Amino acid sequence: MKLSSSRPSRVGRNPFIHKLRFTMTEKIKIGLMSVTVFPVRLLLVSFFMLLAWPFAFTASLGRSEFVMEPQPWWRRFIDLCLRVIMRAMWFCGGFHWIKVKGERAAPSEVPILTVAPHSSYFDAIPVTMTMCSIVAKLESGSIPIWGTLISYIRPVFVFRSDQDSRKKTVEEIKRRAQSGGEWPQIMIFPEGTCTNRSGLILFKAGAFIPGLPVQPVVLRYPNKLDSVTWTWQGPGAFKILWLTLCQPHNPLEIEYLPIYTPSNEEKENPALFANNVRKLMAKALELPLTDLSFDDREISLSQGPLCIHDYSSLLEFNQLVCRLGLRGRTRDKLLDEQPKRAKKLQGELLSLDDFAQFLNLPVTDALTEVHSYFDQHGDGRIDIRHFVIALSTVHQPSKSMETLKLAFKMYEIEEGGDVKEEDLATILEIMLGVKEVELSGLFLSLDRPDTERITYDELRHFILQHPYFVQEHLDFKDHPRKFCIKPPKSCNGHNHDKDA
């Protein structure tokens, strides 16, 4: 790969993938439970959820979304009834004993609870036990029955269609947090998405921007068979529900850690505040820190004929790109203009100042680090085409053929639109995130006398004819045809994103 490879990888197990493996004994147990206990449990869970709906609907009538009114006795009574009903619902679902460690602080003392790891929709259990507010998508309030229960706890709704939704969400969290306990505590899952609990991914800053004390809360699901994890690639929502209701018992541990009061430096730097709380929670959970975020999931889960195989360097590059502000529409615009400008340079190497001028950005630490990423020979100069290919790869990881076409336009020889073998190797090294791609197998398979050049159409046709093109026709340094993975059998395709 034409990125500097001197940095050690900070990425371990992919936190966005969950694979279930069953022993024969477990399969027999699930089969027996499916025809005996599962129907009864599902019926009871549905009954209690339906029973909770009129209570939540009645208590929500006439309430203001912006003002916390004094709670009359009948609303307090409904709140108690809802807690009992929801606890009965979880009990019927197999969560018989929920172990709680530590003590939850009062809302006037700590307005925000940060909960991790976020790995399942069963993480709603501590929410229903405390009736804390949460951060939720606006669409959640429209879910039949469950949406009414969500609305009852007065969530901070995220308007995803509003371009300023993130800013407004943070402002609302800050307003409630600074109310002196007038509003209910806000329970925030700072990871912003569900993972498989193999490590704590980067925290979003929303819970930490107010600069007020927070109480970390950690969740543990000690079951031998992990039937609760619901993440981006793995069992779907109904399968998770079915398998969980088929377990004799589903243990859950909720631990309230000591209140974390930020220092003056952390108050000024929410990212530092978030990272220090993350370290504290990881230590309590005995889990590693994973330098991935919600925004990195598409890179780590890239699919297609040229999916990324070793994404650690590209993930670090993507984080630097975010620090430069090259995201969203900005990257779309750059990828429209940069390939044409890069082609005109015809492989001319750029210094740091030239690179800054090319991007029309000032020379900063982040820009210097990006430049050094592509300084393959350590002489302070880079081939801008490498940067453009990497940018396209992290911007549209599942559209590898579009990136390949873009790369061919920058490298093609004018006579016939083809590229040289060594240039194609460079392109594939960057796109796949690997070292020193060997193309002899590919050109032998093409069975043509000219083994030094190939056009995009020829390569595209060959890839379409060979679904396992990378596995069967490429060799990588240190990894000759070993670590290529077949397309996943299951991908949930659900959306867990939170904007706070």
CB 265 within 8 A of CB 273: no
DSSP β-ladder status, 214-220 and 252-256: antiparallel
Pairwise CA distance, residues 396 & 162, whole Å: 23
The pLDDT of residue 5 is above 50: no
List CB contacts of 34: < 8 A, sequence separation 6 or more. 242, 246
Helices (H), 270-328: 270-285, 297-300, 312-324
pLDDT for the residue 487: 39
DSSP state letter for 255: E
Q: For the residues 22-39, what does the mean pLDDT come to?
A: 95
DSSP line for 181-238:
TSSPPEEE-TT-S---SSSB-PPPSTTTTT---EEEEEEE---SS------SBSS-HH
Q: What is the pLDDT of residues 315-364, one digit of tens each?
A: 888 888 877 877 655 566 667 777 878 888 877 889 999 998 888 889 88
> With DSSP H G I counted as helix, E B as strand and the rest as coil, what are the percentages for the chain, rounded to 5?
45, 10, 45
State which amino acid sits at residue 476.
F
CB 20 within 8 A of CB 240: no
pLDDT for the residue 79: 92
pTM: 0.79
Q: What is the pLDDT of residues 363-392, one digit of tens each?
A: 888 889 889 888 888 888 999 899 989 988
Give me the residues paired with residue 233 across strands. Answer: 17
The pLDDT of residue 187 is above 90: yes
Give me the residues paired with residue 135 across strands. Answer: 156
pLDDT for the residue 276: 96
Express as a percent the part of the chain with pLDDT over 70.
89
